[in-house]
Amino acid sequence: MTRPKAKKTTPARRAAKPAGRRAAKPAKRQADAASTSTPEAAKAQPNQRIGVLIDADNVSHQHLPTLRRFIGDTAIAAAKAYGDFQGRLSGWRAAAQEWVELELVDQRSYTPGKNAADMRLTIDAVKLMAGPTPPTTLIFVTNDSDFTPVVEDAKRLGVRIIVMGERTHKALRSTAHHYLNLSELRDRMDAEQAAKSDPRKALALLAQALRAVLPKTNKEAAALLDQFEQMLPDLRFADAARPPREAVARREPRPERAPREPRAARDARPAPDNSGQDYRDRPNLSSAQQAQGKAEADQRRAQLQQRQDIIDALVDVATGLAPAGEWLKVEVIKKFLLQEHPGLEANAPRYAKFYRMLEDTGRFDVQLQGSTVMARLKE
């Protein structure tokens, strides 16, 4: 039997294929770009004024401590981060509380496909350069090559440009005076800080000072210093001494299990204090314990309903993290509640399970998705 001839794929037919099929391959993740300058070279400018512009859409807020350490005590003309901080970038709000000078410019994209935050950052960069006291150095914290034109304009005006990121496009890196990889910068500053606190360095300096003041004819002292310097690399500090093997106490034999009480006696015992546990989370309760647990749960719910400040705080945090109707991890809601409303738990009804508190407000739906408890604000 003759096989049918395969149809040739012409350019016109390839172009006619659905766009979704052509775009099925996942985009490759761009590799991290190594620093092109050292931190010392990037910082070496006397009497400079720094402007910091952060593209929060593609740089993590976890790099803020590294950026602050790099800037140090240098005067800041402006420090701004741009993005939708009411949505997925809500983690920036807590991080920005540690940096008083940083202003979060909340910019939402009103038209799909248009990055309004990038436009706002570019406009503010132009305003800074055109102001009465423009910065002498501009730091762009971004991975986006779209800022290359404004960087080129700033360089023509005599502004020194530092770009920081991790996967920053080559066009932007090559345009800037200095490029620093944020992860490399963090590791380097951590290593320098650890070296400064190393007691071996302090002892080595002390040995050098002794050599300087001791007469060169004192051969005995010089020999002792030689011996001391040879010992420095092997010195150990703050190591807890282990107890000798003989001093470790032997484990006592497990006591014999007491005979099990009759069921009637167990039911008659009062329920233990379970620190706010809900009876619905304890499946093996007796009828009497279930009744007592339900009464305790009703009492906690009534106490919570009287704490409108707690309910308002929960709703405020959830609204800032996601719109109503969108599921969130319960752990995330609890984390931001403690960060943004410290001290709120004082005199609050005690809940062993945080999601039970959310349920008792009457404002949240709660469900288990896999092994994770999720919650959403009711619409």
Kindly state the tokens that stand for 304.
């919570």
Q: CATH topology of 39-189 equal to that of 273-377?
A: no
Q: What's the mean per-residue pLDDT of the chain?
A: 78
CA 355, CA 363: separation in Å to the nearest integer? 12
Query: Looking at per-residue confidence, does 331 or 13 come out higher?
Result: 331
Kindly state the tokens that stand for 186.
């963090």
Domain boundary assignment for the chain: 39-189, 273-377
pLDDT number for residue 26: 44
Please report which helix (H) or strand (E) contains residue 329, including its range.
strand 328-329
Percent of the chain with pLDDT over 70: 77
In 45-198, where do the E strands start and end? 49-55, 75-83, 103-106, 137-141, 160-165, 178-181
pLDDT number for residue 24: 43
Q: In 3D, which of 148, 145, 135, 28 has the Cα closest to residue 78?
A: 135
Kindly state the tokens that stand for 16.
């006619």
Query: Looking at per-residue confidence, does 16 or 296 come out higher?
Result: 296
Q: Concatenated DSSP letters for 210-250?
A: HHHHS-TT-HHHHHHHHHHHHHGGG---SPPPPPPGGGSPP
CATH of 273-377, one of 3.30.70, 1.10.10, 3.30.360, 1.20.950: 1.10.10
Provide the edge-to-edge strand list for the sheet that holds 178-181. 103-106, 75-83, 49-55, 137-141, 160-165, 178-181
Tell me which CATH homologous superfamily contains domain 39-189: 5'-nuclease (3.40.50.1010)
pLDDT tens sequence across 159-190: 999 999 988 888 898 899 999 999 899 888 88
pLDDT at 85 over 80: yes
Confidence tier at 112 by pLDDT (50, 70, 90)? low
Count of beta carbons in the 10 Å neighbourhood of residue 259: 6
pLDDT tens sequence across 213-232: 888 788 888 888 888 888 87
pLDDT number for residue 306: 87
Stretch 318-347: mean pLDDT:
81
Q: Rounded to the nearest 5 degrees, what angle is found at the Cα of 274, between the Cα atoms of 268 and 280?
A: 85
Query: Looking at per-residue confidence, does 147 or 342 come out higher?
Result: 147
pLDDT number for residue 265: 57
pLDDT number for residue 292: 84
CA 377, CA 379: separation in Å to the nearest integer? 6
**Which DSSP state fits 184?**
H
pLDDT at 54 over 90: yes
Stretch 51-64: mean pLDDT:
89
Q: What is the pTM of this model?
A: 0.47
pLDDT at 19 over 60: no
pLDDT number for residue 275: 55
C-beta separation of 142 from 50 below 8 A:
no
pLDDT tens sequence across 248-296: 444 555 556 666 666 655 555 554 445 567 777 776 778 888 788 888 8
